[in-house]
Structure 1
Amino acid sequence: MLVSASTPTAEAVAALSALAHPGRLEVFRRLVAAGPEGLAAGEIARTTGSLPNTLSSNLAILTAAGLTQSRREGRSIVYSADFGAMRGLLAYLMEDCCQGRPEICADLSPTCPDAPAP
């Protein structure tokens, strides 16, 4: 699932629901900070203090919501934020919440340079 400005509300709700949990939000924040290179699951567990089964569940939920992706590198699984989905979710929120009234969200646009204007 790729969240975009034309995304149905249900997909946006799934992404926001995934981020509504403090542990998942922390994982997502660390993946965003890591950039496209991502982080190995073991490194995420060490830096967040997550138990392996909890981390696995959190990563599965974030991936199912379309916010993260994974790839195998040798014996490690490396996770990264899906920046296109993140930008799409932000654009959707700006477009949907502003309801075509750019003056409401105009101040937010510079913080998301790749997001389309509302």
Structure 2
Amino acid sequence: MERESASEALAALAQPARLATFSVIAEAGDDGLPVGEVARRLNARQNTTSTHLGVLARAHVVTAQRVGKSVIYKVNQDVLGSLIAFLEAFTPKPNGSPKVG
């Protein structure tokens, strides 16, 4: 993952309400959730939740798939895995220095 993509993903997750939104979707697992259910679980307004989901989707942290009249949001596992790998590159090696230069 490139720094710009990582920065966009981290910025999307850095806002508390968006992180809570992401957490609810992550907890739903592979089935994902429609926006109305995400809003209900967060006790939030649906339009506000939609806005947060839009930011997360533009950062590619979540995916959106239309199923009938609903849009189902799921964690983008590929991007999440890449983001984790990007961050792990900064963890110390056994000699105490970061893995990246």
TM class, shorter-length: 0.7 to 0.9
SS at match of 1:45: helix
SS at match of 1:77: strand
Q: Distance in 2 between matches of 1:88 and 1:44?
A: 25
TM-score normalized by structure 1? 0.75
Q: Structure 1: which 5+ residue stretches go unaligned?
A: 1-6, 105-117
Q: Tell me the CA shift for residue 102 of structure 1.
A: 2.8
Q: Distance in 2 between matches of 1:22 and 1:36?
A: 23
Q: Tell me the CA shift for residue 19 of structure 1.
A: 0.4
SS at match of 2:40: helix
Structure 2 residue identity aligned to 1:38: G
Question: RCO (CA 8 Å, sep 6+): is it higher in 1 or 2?
Answer: 1
Q: Equivalent residue for 1:102?
A: 93
Q: Distance in 1 between matches of 2:5 and 2:66?
A: 26
Out of 47, 68, 73, the position equivalent to 2:41 is 47
Q: Equivalent residue for 1:93?
A: 87
Q: Equivalent residue for 1:68?
A: 62
- When the two chains are superposed, the root-mean-square deviation of aligned CA atoms in Å is 1.5
Q: Which runs of 4+ in 1 moved over 6 A?
A: none
TM-score normalized by structure 2? 0.87
Q: Equivalent residue for 1:110?
A: none
Q: Distance in 1 between matches of 2:72 and 2:42?
A: 15
Structure 2 residue identity aligned to 1:50: A
Q: Distance in 2 between matches of 1:10 and 1:73?
A: 31
Q: Structure 2: which 5+ residue stretches go unaligned?
A: none
